[in-house]
Amino acid sequence: MSSIRVYIADRVFTGETWLQNHAVIVENDTIKEIVPVSLLSTEQKTEEFHNCFLAPAFIDLQIYGAGGKLFSAHPEPSSLQILQEHGAKGGSVFSLPTVATNTYEVFYNCIDAVREYWKNNGKGILGLHFEGPWINSTKRGAHIESLIHPPTIQEVEEILNYGKGVIRMITLAPEICSKEVIDLILSHNIFISAGHSNATYEEAKKSFANGITMVTHLYNAMSPLQHRQPGLVGATMDDDMVMASIIPDGYHVDYAAIRIAKQVMKERLFVITDAVTVTKQGDYQHQQVGNKYEANNILSGSALTMAMAVQNLVNFTSIELGEALRMCSLYPAKLFGLHEYGRIEKGYSSKVIVMNKNMEAVQLL
């Protein structure tokens, strides 16, 4: 049975432009049309949000847990439900749960949990992002050094086969992974992101030519941009095809560095929260310190939501609001092939976020 709803706010951000005095009409899960409010019939029931604007729902491609349930420590469908609800409060229609360097038992348990969540009609979870263990120990950050190692073809085949359809992204250090490993992962239609890497500029550029299309949390845990050694940061900025995530919390990256990267990379830079939660179980003991998290006195995750990321980009990096919204919605949607998301246009998903004038998330519709 068809269900039509009409949303009205002070402004509507389509993903490209701002509209005033317009209504968004949705039917079931799809946007039917966007029309001037003056064209609505007096009989149409509307949902009005005063002193607010509508924007495309956000997509968070790196988050570890929420509500005291770090997913790797609690690999259960209920943890995913908590994570999804937490993301939705910050405006995210989709989240990609991420598991940092861990034992294969934990990785397999997390795969099982996602499958069970989907089996029970769980929504909003895209699959899994494995960050490690095939990274460079010299750029490990808070990752567990004893579990970091270069991969063999056999172990890669085993986990990819087990996680078929669930594993969506793997962050690895390209300088410690063979081309055969890269090719094998890509053959499973899994996105590869370079990160926790000490790659030289030349090694990074070669890995991009070999099919790596993105970089995990630009600047953090990677070879820096220096005038004689441009490193992974320099290679990322210098490649027109590669996209990179960034964590705009003011702790992982200085806001000036975000502004510089944005000027160079433009639409290739997108937002992740990298959010963790207070954890007393498992190998990662995250503790909240102010507005960030630490494990063993090392910066280990953020306390961001996507809505908070928008606020920080606008307030501290001078990025225009519409562009900040695109960094949290349209760009990750394009990257992941979610073609019905990232815009408020006819035929697109009806999932939109209501935000107030302070850019706080009011409701995910």
DSSP-derived secondary structure for 182-250: HHHHHHTT-EEEE-SB---HHHHHHHHHTT--EESSTTTTB----SS--HHHHHHHT-SS-EEEE--SS
CA distance 38 to 303: 42
CA distance 338 to 32: 18
| DSSP conformational letter for 165 | T
Choose among 207, 187, 191: nearest CA to 199: 207
Check 60, 249, 274, 283 and give the catalytic one.
274
Q: Beta 22-27 vs 30-36: how paired, if at all?
A: antiparallel
The pair of three-digit structure tokens given for residue 19, joined into one six-digit string:
């509209």
Q: 334: which residues sit within 8 A by CB, 6+ positions away?
A: 342
**Single-letter amino acid, residue 92:** S
Which residue is associated with the tokens 């749960």?
Answer: 97
Sign of CA dihedral 174, 261, 15, 83: positive
Q: How many other β-carbons are positioned within 10 Å of the β-carbon of residue 42? A: 4
CA angle (63 as vertex; 287, 267 as ends), nearest 5: 125
CA distance 336 to 59: 10
CA angle (222 as vertex; 316, 73 as ends), nearest 5: 85
Sign of CA dihedral 331, 262, 217, 232: positive
* Annotation says 274 is catalytic: yes
CA distance 171 to 195: 6
Catalytic machinery residues = 274
